[in-house]
Structure 1
Amino acid sequence: MKKAKRAGRVDLKLRLLHGDDIAMGPGKADLLDAIEGAGSISAAARAMGMSYRRAWLLVEVMNNSFAEPLVRSAAGGSQGGGASVTAMGKEVLTRYRAMQAAATAATASHAAALQKLLRPADDSHNRGQSFN
């Protein structure tokens, strides 16, 4: 049985660059949300299906990219440790999400027109290929 071809889609992804690093992007914004909700980097990483090391490295890039850290963490142990999103982190996240929404709204008509020009996605042909 053949798989049905899915329609192509246009998906706008904003990234703030700091030198060669991605200071903020959709994944890092989601990680900040997850840390805020979970109260720890490890719990946020588990919830997002990533390793603690990967989450820690992403937090490190964010903290080193902005004027102040976006996440503060305390070592675990008998007191439990944990992490929290700082006031700067909350401001960056709010501004990033607002910019993301504004950019999506501003490009909606162009995205719809481009989507009509896309060929249906063929899973067997495009599997594993990403050129972002």
Structure 2
Amino acid sequence: MKAGNKKTGVRLRVVLVPGVALGPGKADLLEAIAETGSISAAGRRMTMSYKRAWSLVNEMNGWFAGPLVETGKGGAGGGGAQLTALGERVREAYRRMEQAASAAVEADIAALRAEISDMSK
């Protein structure tokens, strides 16, 4: 299971500057684009409309000195999307921060889980 797909544990949202925040949804979208080669396929995988996926990509592309995702023109044999080198660096940095945050709070999460009552009673 990918770090960003956890149902429990740390869900990291990093505010880089006011109005610019990376969280698990945007990181998962970048990852899905890298894996599928398509914004629409990535959106489908995440049960997100193409319009929403494209809007998030466009937003992220505007935040940085260069685009995170590049697209090709559609049509016969065309289309597709891929992460740029900058997009890969951003995705990898987010995943490293996510792992570091999870590791930093692992003992506290385990301690709190031990305090949860048995809900099957």
CA distance in 2: counterparts of 1:19 and 1:79, whole angstroms: 40
Contact 1:76/1:82, CA 8 A, preserved across alignment: yes
CA distance in 1: counterparts of 2:8 and 2:29, whole angstroms: 23
1:12 is aligned to: 10
Identify which of structures 1 and 2 has the higher relative contact order when contacts are C-alpha pairs closer than 8 Å and 6+ apart: 1
Q: Which SS does the other structure have where 1:101 is aligned?
A: helix
The Cα shift of 1:119 comes to 5.6
CA distance in 1: counterparts of 2:90 and 2:35, whole angstroms: 17
1:37 is aligned to: 35
After superposition, the C-alpha distances for 1:43-86 in whole angstroms (9 at most, x for unaligned) are 11112221101111111221122222110112312342111100
What TM-score results when the alignment is normalised by the length of structure 1? 0.74
Contact 1:32/1:85, CA 8 A, preserved across alignment: yes
Gapped runs of 5+ residues in structure 2? Answer: 1-6
Describe the shift of the 1:98–1:77 C-alpha distance in structure 2 as closer, same or farther (beyond 3 A). same
Describe the shift of the 1:45–1:39 C-alpha distance in structure 2 as closer, same or farther (beyond 3 A). same
What TM-score results when the alignment is normalised by the length of structure 2? 0.80
1:106 is aligned to: 104
Structure exhibiting the larger radius of gyration computed from Cα positions: 1
CA distance in 2: counterparts of 1:15 and 1:111, whole angstroms: 18
Task: Look up the equivalent residue of 1:100 and give its one-letter code.
Answer: E
User: 1:77 aligned to 70, 75, 92, which one?
Assistant: 75
Gapped runs of 5+ residues in structure 1? Answer: 1-8, 122-132
Q: How many residues align?
A: 113
Describe the shift of the 1:120–1:13 C-alpha distance in structure 2 as closer, same or farther (beyond 3 A). farther
Q: Which SS does the other structure have where 2:70 is aligned?
A: strand
